[in-house]
Amino acid sequence: MQESEAKIRIEQLREVLRENSRRYYVDNAPTMSDYEFDTLMHELERLEAEFPQFDSPDSPTRRVGSDLDAPVGPNAERDARQGFVQRPHRYPMLSLGNTYSIAEIEEFAARADKALDGTPFSYSCELKFDGTAICLTYRNGRLVQALTRGDGIQGDDVTGNVRRIANIPQRLHGDYPAEFEIRGEILMPYEAFDALNREREAQEEAPFANPRNAASGSLKLIDPEEVAHRGLWCTLYHIPAESATFESHSQALDAAASWGLPVSEDRRICHGIDEIKAYIDHWDGARKFLPYATDGIVIKINELACQRALGYTAKSPRWAVAYKFKAEQACTELLSIDYQVGRTGAVTPVANLAPVQLSGTLVKRATLNNADQMALLDIRVGDWVFVEKGGEIIPKITGIDPAHRSAGALPPAFPERCPDCGTPLVKPEAEARWFCPNQDGCPMQIKGRLLHFVSRKAMDILAGEATVEQFYDAGLARTPADLYDISKYQLLSLEGWQERSAQRFLDSLEASKQVPFERVLFALGIRYVGETTAKGLARHFGDIDALAAATKEQLLEVEDVGEVIAGSVFDFLHKEEHLEMIARLRAQGLRFDGAGKGAALSDVLAGKTVVISGNFSISRERMKELIAAHGGKAGSSVSARTAYLLAGTKPGPEKLKQCAKLGIPVISEEEFRAMLPEDIATAGSGLPPEGVSAAERGRIPSPSGDKPADADTEKNGQNVEELTLF
């Protein structure tokens, strides 16, 4: 690889890995499978070794992923009202080197043999639990502190929440040291995970992608009461050698078990590589019957003196390694290939499959990523293909079964022209994908951008795929700014729209004017600007004028913004049509400032905890933001400290009962909005905009015309598309 190509690739890899690391650790919503992430990380490691001139101390290869979500610094105590206080780890919390290859485990063992030079030692083989890491401190036999891994140096203090996890003892018994630390994993067993997701879906909340995300999301809940109901579970696997005196790791864990701490019984002491391999083979199959998720095996040198001799790299110990299991696969027939055009113009081949069961769901479609990937797989329609789940969200094809190929099957031809608008496709340098360059005229791109704009994580406007399609076909919307010019009269002239659905749509448009700048910025759909980058940019620059005036160098000052993102933001904000659209959106009342300044709308709810239940005219997520924007705290369960229960349609009967018992007032959405200052109270209040006749206002709505937008905007996940590098 040429030096210039390597530079671009290294930068792309760093950005993608950083963004995904944040999605994994902070948002609990990964968009990449562990395997893809690890493969990209290994590619970056190789490139950095080959091209040391591009070394950077903050490369993801040198940093432990961070789950920190609250600000650090002198105001940490105050800010903890929103998040958690951060506290330093006494000993850094490192991660483990990992591999998917047995040959590399053999190399690990050979290296240990060589380095320990005849000193007898053994291995402790353990399950690799797939949850979120925790560090507990016990003083005089009492649990005094629980910290998340955070960035490895300091973690969030989640002691209150950890106290509500049933199998973590508050008090120890036996012969425990006066003070020690013990580390392990917080897990959500499958049963609790399924129950939680059923409940979330019933409440129209996005389900968690997997038990790991559910565990780490639950551990970061503000209300310990709620944590207690999540069915979390803990297993402990490491006492830092400095924290207690033992000869071996296994003795330390046996002792911990004797003090009443939850330690896995599935550990084995192995002597040599054959016993390690036998352990791996056993658990590769047996883990499917465990009640919780595991994603590999951890192999540790057992003797602590040997561990000390081997030491650490910047990121992980040299005395341990993780062997990771590949995701579950299914094999099925490839029926046909569609070519989808995303909002950026990227063309993604999507496979239509004979339906097959995979990790509990029926898979009918899978992504093939790009033309190179198709060529690499040498895939043909009619082949039997292997499917895996990427990030457990979008399945992907990872291989074919050559034994099943029928004679005469021809390789599919990747289209030369856009399947939607017919424009010849182009492949930019250093991109793995083909693009339709017709940004302003290609219907799929235009609709894709609109759909991204209205999606729940962006402007949260009540419109889904079918609605956007309808607006497009009727010539009502080409850019997001057009949406705000649509009148009720125009809506009612469209098929299937009724007074009520039209009003709900207009209300959601009105409510979107309160969406904070960082989400508006994300909604604009600037390439490579995902939610977290948008947040970073908004907080750094404060408003759109400062952002638009920024030079590329100034953009590079924002944490985690590299040249690719800086270039993309700069180009976007220097295009006449984008500036015009922003000016229109601004005139229509959208927020293009107020970021990074606390941005509270009022303090009418200061010091009050409002619990919400049921459905509202805006999503529950937005309702919680609205409460926070007025100084309140959105609680999730009713207690004596609750100020109000804000009840929408179909509130939870248990919550109502609890309110009746504790004498807590139950208020409707209208009553709630009436508490807010005038200008905000009308947003999304159900009032028709001016110019709507009394006759229209009086018409009886029919629910049949309503389309739940959230359901179909979420699955598009267009921001996901931006990060595919395969």
Query: What are the φ and ψ backbone dihedral angles of 286, each rounded to 5 degrees?
Result: -65, -25
Query: Which of residues 133, 346, 366, 524 is near ligand IVH by CB under 6 A?
Result: 133
95 near ligand IVH (CB under 6 A) = yes
Contact between residue 614 and residue 647 where contact means Cβ atoms under 8 Å apart: yes
- Considering the complex, state which of residue 129 and residue 471 has its C-beta at the smaller distance from ligand IVH: 129
Query: What are the φ and ψ backbone dihedral angles of 539, each rounded to 5 degrees?
Result: -70, -35
Stretch that binds ligand IVH, among 221-229, 316-324, 594-602, 678-686 (CB under 6 A): 316-324
Burial class for 360, CB neighbours closer than 10 Å (0-12, 13-18, 19+): exposed
Stretch that binds ligand IVH, among 28-36, 44-52, 123-131, 530-538 (CB under 6 A): 123-131
- Considering the complex, state which of residue 298 and residue 544 has its C-beta at the smaller distance from ligand IVH: 298
Q: Least separation, in Å, of the C-beta of 35 and ligand IVH?
A: 13
**DSSP H or E stretch at residue 348:** strand 347-358
CA–chain centroid gap for 715, Å, is 14
Phi-psi region of 475 (alpha: psi -120 to 50; beta: other; left: phi over 0): left
238 near ligand IVH (CB under 6 A) = yes
Q: How many CA atoms lie within 13 A of 428 on its CB side?
A: 10
Amino acid at the residue 150: G
3-state secondary structure 370-422: CHHHHHHHCCCCCCEEEEEEECCCEEEEEEECHHHCCCCCCCCCCCCECCCCC
Stretch that binds ligand IVH, among 150-158, 315-323, 657-665, 691-699 (CB under 6 A): 315-323
- Considering the complex, state which of residue 321 and residue 515 has its C-beta at the smaller distance from ligand IVH: 321
- Closest C-alpha to 519, from 576, 467, 585, 592: 592
Cβ–Cβ contacts within 10 Å for residue 414, how many? Answer: 17
Phi-psi region of 664 (alpha: psi -120 to 50; beta: other; left: phi over 0): beta
Number of H helices, E strands in the chain: 30, 20
Contact between residue 692 and residue 497 where contact means Cβ atoms under 8 Å apart: no
Contact between residue 423 and residue 436 where contact means Cβ atoms under 8 Å apart: yes
Query: Which of residues 26, 41, 96, 643 is near ligand IVH by CB under 6 A?
Result: 96
- Considering the complex, state which of residue 299 and residue 659 has its C-beta at the smaller distance from ligand IVH: 299
Q: How many CA atoms lie within 13 A of 16 on its CB side?
A: 24
- Considering the complex, state which of residue 294 and residue 637 has its C-beta at the smaller distance from ligand IVH: 294
185 near ligand IVH (CB under 6 A) = yes
SS3 of 204, please?
coil
128 near ligand IVH (CB under 6 A) = yes
- Considering the complex, state which of residue 48 and residue 181 has its C-beta at the smaller distance from ligand IVH: 181
Q: Least separation, in Å, of the C-beta of 287 and ligand IVH?
A: 12
Q: Least separation, in Å, of the C-beta of 645 and ligand IVH?
A: 38
Q: 426: which 2 tokens?
A: 């182009």
Q: Least separation, in Å, of the C-beta of 275 and ligand IVH?
A: 17
Cβ–Cβ contacts within 10 Å for residue 679, how many? Answer: 11
Stretch that binds ligand IVH, among 126-134, 536-544, 579-587, 614-622 (CB under 6 A): 126-134
- Considering the complex, state which of residue 27 and residue 67 has its C-beta at the smaller distance from ligand IVH: 67
94 near ligand IVH (CB under 6 A) = yes
How many chain residues are in contact with ligand IVH, going by CB under 6 A?
Answer: 15
384-390 and 329-341 beta bridge pairing: antiparallel
For the four alpha carbons of 163, 168, 171 and 176, in that order, the dihedral sign comes to: negative
- Considering the complex, state which of residue 148 and residue 508 has its C-beta at the smaller distance from ligand IVH: 148
Contact between residue 208 and residue 196 where contact means Cβ atoms under 8 Å apart: yes
- Considering the complex, state which of residue 323 and residue 522 has its C-beta at the smaller distance from ligand IVH: 323
Contact pattern from residue 466 through residue 505 relative to ligand IVH, giving x for each residue in contact according to CB under 6 A and a dash for the rest: ----------------------------------------
Q: 515: which 2 tokens?
A: 């969406």
Query: Which of residues 15, 67, 126, 392 is near ligand IVH by CB under 6 A?
Result: 126
129 near ligand IVH (CB under 6 A) = yes
Stretch that binds ligand IVH, among 95-103, 171-179, 214-222, 479-487 (CB under 6 A): 95-103
- Considering the complex, state which of residue 237 and residue 472 has its C-beta at the smaller distance from ligand IVH: 237
Stretch that binds ligand IVH, among 94-102, 155-163, 170-178, 591-599 (CB under 6 A): 94-102
Q: Least separation, in Å, of the C-beta of 67 and ligand IVH?
A: 11
Contact between residue 145 and residue 157 where contact means Cβ atoms under 8 Å apart: yes
Q: Least separation, in Å, of the C-beta of 720 and ligand IVH?
A: 23
Query: What are the φ and ψ backbone dihedral angles of 423, each rounded to 5 degrees?
Result: -70, 140
For the four alpha carbons of 80, 83, 86 and 89, in that order, the dihedral sign comes to: positive
For the four alpha carbons of 649, 650, 655 and 656, in that order, the dihedral sign comes to: positive
Contact pattern from residue 263 through residue 302 relative to ligand IVH, giving x for each residue in contact according to CB under 6 A and a dash for the rest: -----------------------------------x----
Q: Least separation, in Å, of the C-beta of 302 and ligand IVH?
A: 12
Query: Which of residues 237, 259, 323, 471 is near ligand IVH by CB under 6 A?
Result: 237
- Closest C-alpha to 570, from 543, 592, 551: 551
Burial class for 542, CB neighbours closer than 10 Å (0-12, 13-18, 19+): middle
Amino acid at the residue 337: I
Query: Which of residues 239, 320, 618, 720 is near ligand IVH by CB under 6 A?
Result: 320
Any residues with CB less than 8 A from the CB of 22 and at least 6 apart, and which? 66, 532, 560
317 near ligand IVH (CB under 6 A) = yes
Stretch that binds ligand IVH, among 317-325, 349-357, 406-414, 487-495 (CB under 6 A): 317-325
Contact pattern from residue 46 through residue 85 relative to ligand IVH, giving x for each residue in contact according to CB under 6 A and a dash for the rest: ----------------------------------------
- Considering the complex, state which of residue 236 and residue 462 has its C-beta at the smaller distance from ligand IVH: 236
- Considering the complex, state which of residue 317 and residue 342 has its C-beta at the smaller distance from ligand IVH: 317
Buried b (16+ CB within 10 A) or exposed e, 546-555: ebbebeeebb
Q: Least separation, in Å, of the C-beta of 312 and ligand IVH?
A: 8
Q: Least separation, in Å, of the C-beta of 184 and ligand IVH?
A: 8
Q: Least separation, in Å, of the C-beta of 279 and ligand IVH?
A: 12
Cα torsion at 618, 620, 624, 625 (round to 10°)? Answer: -50
Q: In what order do the strands lie in the sheet with 642-647?
A: 633-635, 609-613, 642-647, 666-667
Q: Least separation, in Å, of the C-beta of 295 and ligand IVH?
A: 8
315 near ligand IVH (CB under 6 A) = no
256 near ligand IVH (CB under 6 A) = no
322 near ligand IVH (CB under 6 A) = yes
Contact between residue 273 and residue 260 where contact means Cβ atoms under 8 Å apart: no
Catalytic residue numbers read 128
Minimal CB distance residue for ligand IVH: 133
Q: Least separation, in Å, of the C-beta of 321 and ligand IVH?
A: 10
Positions in the binding site for ligand IVH (CB under 6 A): 94-96, 98, 126, 128-129, 133, 185, 237-238, 298, 317, 320, 322
